[in-house]
Structure 1
């Protein structure tokens, strides 16, 4: 029986108008890195984010990799605050469905590859934090534990005392599908931004997810 759901956050619950990953890195992150005498091109950075290279790869540039990611995440939080001021962070119109899932007695978690501070910021921005029993952003003690690694998902399962077969992973990306499956869970792909291969279920929005959950229960 389905007892809980683990949600991705960015592009699943909220989105960023006009967001461009390369533009964000070059205009926001690179200037901050240069203050610490770090030169890192976008291509190499992207490989560390996608998992093609480990996050510790940064150490060959002469900086502790945990400190490097703390710099990046601090900039990311500043960026999100600025985008919020400009009204460019938006909740998807169907996020009210989270309340319906809570009424059904389900345990809910939010798991993001962004930092804990960044994740909590966007959830609090739209009063979404109240729906979740636990929220986990990236863990500085295991920086390679971000999705598609199942580490954060498994951490949420343990916190909610859920078995993988009794929980559903919900997200928009291939990383969400892989992380959920590697944790032994079924995965629902929210297809607003396109369909991802390999998911167990496909829903167009969170209200359709509510209907899916009713069938699964």
Structure 2
């Protein structure tokens, strides 16, 4: 069995419930409205919600003659505010098995595609500061879109900061598994209710049903 010195966790879908598709759509529509677009095309909203690229975002904004940075500032701000409201109203919460991480003796961190400031909110709101030694999320900039997983950018930063040599990354998506392997890490795929029936095209190092299995994996 591999000996790990570092365990990194995704946030949405692993530590906390992921934002709903409807919540993300509402925030995106609100952003279009704020910048003067009353009837954005549904497929443009879907592209943004499902994960656009820098190049494609420029094309979408050009279709409405929008300044890309102005639109994206509105979208990221409103998206984050919508997430805060869901947490504060208890309609989105932390998974109960996150307590199992306290039994992990290795250095632990968070690496997420969500905003860095949203991860900071999650840490404070759920009192997780003592559980994790560092956390990395995405800056609320257009350029940060190209650093999202499966890009290893934020995984590399976290591992470098923590000084880990043998790391494990715990996620709930195929992109998490791919990013981990590309970063030279082993991977854990957690089958939460939202991804129970997902078929992966790549094989994770481990597959689990809840975080209570992590302490056993890392020994």
Q: How many Å separate the matches in 2 of 1:108 and 1:71?
A: 33
Structural RMSD (CA): 2.2
Q: How many Å separate the matches in 1 of 2:58 and 2:191?
A: 37
Contact 1:167/1:186 (<8 A) preserved = yes
Kindly report which structure 2 residues correspond to 1:57-206, keeping only aligned pairs within 5 A, or say none: 57-60=56-59, 61=61, 62-101=65-104, 104=105, 106-139=106-139, 140=141, 141-163=143-165, 166-193=166-193, 194=196, 197=200, 198-206=203-211
- Match for residue 6 of structure 2? 4
The two structures have a TM-score, normalised by structure 1, of: 0.84
Structure 2 stretches lacking a partner, 5+ long = none
TM superposition shift of 1:35: 1.4
Q: How many Å separate the matches in 2 of 1:47 and 1:76?
A: 15
TM superposition shift of 1:45: 4.0
TM superposition shift of 1:63: 4.0
Q: How many Å separate the matches in 2 of 1:69 and 1:12?
A: 26
TM superposition shift of 1:90: 1.4
The two structures have a TM-score, normalised by structure 2, of: 0.83
Matched, 1:33 2:32: yes
* 1:30 to 1:50, Cα distance in 2 relative to 1, 3 A: closer
TM superposition shift of 1:67: 4.3
* 1:153 to 1:49, Cα distance in 2 relative to 1, 3 A: farther
Contact 1:49/1:55 (<8 A) preserved = no
TM superposition shift of 1:155: 1.4
